[in-house]
Amino acid sequence: MELLRHSLRDKPDNISVHLASVRTPAVVFDERTLREDAARVHGAAKHAGCKLLYSPKANTIRGVLDAIADAVDGFAASSVFEARLSRDVLGDGKSVHITNPGMRPNEVAEIGKFCDYVALNSLRQWQMFGPTLVKSTSCGLRVNPGMSLVRDLRYDPCREYSKLGVPLDHLESLIKRDDNSLVGISGLHFHTNSEASEFSGLLATVRHLTDRVAPLLENLEWINLGGGYLFDDAGHIEEFEECVEVLSSQYGLTVFIEPGTAIVRRGCYLVASVVDCFVSDGRSIAVLDCSTSHWPEIFEFQFEPDVVGDAEDGPYEFLLAGATCLAGDLFGTYAFDAPVRIGDKVIFANAGAYSLVKANYFNGINLPSVYAITDEGELTLENQFFYEDFARQCGGTVHANN
């Protein structure tokens, strides 16, 4: 427990004690932090004059959704399942929005039932589903403004051959032709950034839209600026406020934003235990009872997650490794004040976004249990997974007597 003692010395007492007592691997969410972060982003949105939606894509743990629900104006779903879950959590008081490039005819009835706002991803989607959806929802188009803000092509909705949104040129030429195919469209949606601390790209995009499709904007009711912004106080909130101001005052639009990461990243921990330690080519390896399959973006992006107690210049360097057969299933190299021993707990912080929601059973390693640290400071076990869950996903028959 030496490592844990060192690693938790900066944390509030109850959180330290709780993180030390969970059965690993575990995802632990902290309701108070989630509420704080949702309130922080909501404050920024409200001050600017726009509405805040949470994008459940980033984290769908039920208790996380419940903790956030009060502090937002609605949820922005990526699928029918997410829309249905959003409605379940929010009840009728708040709005549910959806956009999805793969919408199917057999989903339209449910989308109409669970959603208030739909951003159709293509003109074809609008032709196919618009006539039904306009009866019960406010329909808009997802637009691709064509201004790339993300370097990694895999995450750039404005990349060449993009599948996300109607290219702005197409919209512009429809408007010029005075085509009536856009009659019935009430809003525009775009989502073009990721992990951004400042808003210069957003402002440039909004200016681009007002330059190119002003006549359309004048006839709409709403615009959704997407997610991808962290609202971490790093910079230039006035540029964000200018975006909202232009769209709401000059064009009379209701403005929405729909971040995910900004709201959930800080409020969750991934807690693991060290199950083996040895030296390989001169480097100390600590094998954990979890895997990057529990947080696949670590492997996809090759980033090193934050570890509580990582001392930078600490004298004891360890490569933290996952429990699967994949040689590259590694969390990273960290330096601690004390040697890592079998049985120590390792706590990954800022683990709330795109972690458990993307987790899988690779190698048959069980998923982490889910715990909450409630507003009252109590630790509660929220969910856990068993062999039967794994077997069911494999499609095998689960025998009651096994």
* Residues of this chain that bind ligand PLP (CB under 6 A): 55, 57-58, 76, 99, 191, 194, 226-228, 258-262, 353
> Quick one: tokens of 271?
């807690």
Give the separation between CA 226 and CA 260, rounded to whole angstroms: 10
Q: Which residue, 18 or 266, has its beta carbon nearer to ligand PLP?
A: 266
359, 367 in Cβ contact below 8 A?
yes
Q: Which residue, 76 or 346, has its beta carbon nearer to ligand PLP?
A: 76
Q: List, in sequence order, every residue forming a beta bridge with 51; answer none if it has no partner.
A: 256
CB of 384 to ligand PLP, least distance (A): 26
> Quick one: tokens of 19?
């993180």
Q: Sign of the C-alpha dihedral, residues 79, 263, 168, 157?
A: negative
> Quick one: tokens of 95?
């709005």
CB of 224 to ligand PLP, least distance (A): 8
Q: Which residue, 51 or 57, has its beta carbon nearer to ligand PLP?
A: 57
Q: Which residue, 193 or 293, has its beta carbon nearer to ligand PLP?
A: 193
CB of 220 to ligand PLP, least distance (A): 18
Helices (H), 28-73: 31-48, 62-69
Q: Would you give the DSSP letter of residue 10?
A: T
Give the separation between CA 96 and CA 82, rounded to whole angstroms: 10
CA angle 245–184–86, rounded 5-degree value: 70
Q: Which of 318, 322, 229 lies closest to 25 in space, CA to CA?
A: 322
Q: Which residue, 27 or 286, has its beta carbon nearer to ligand PLP?
A: 27
Give the separation between CA 383 and CA 366, rounded to whole angstroms: 13
Q: Which residue, 145 or 226, has its beta carbon nearer to ligand PLP?
A: 226
CB of 247 to ligand PLP, least distance (A): 17
CB of 65 to ligand PLP, least distance (A): 14
CB of 202 to ligand PLP, least distance (A): 12
Give the separation between CA 72 and CA 258, rounded to whole angstroms: 10
CB of 264 to ligand PLP, least distance (A): 8
Q: Which residue, 151 or 399, has its beta carbon nearer to ligand PLP?
A: 151
DSSP string of 130-193? HHHHTTTSEEEEEEE------SSGGG-TTSTT--SSEEHHHHHHHHHTT-GGGTT--EEE----
Q: Which residue, 262 or 338, has its beta carbon nearer to ligand PLP?
A: 262
CB of 138 to ligand PLP, least distance (A): 16
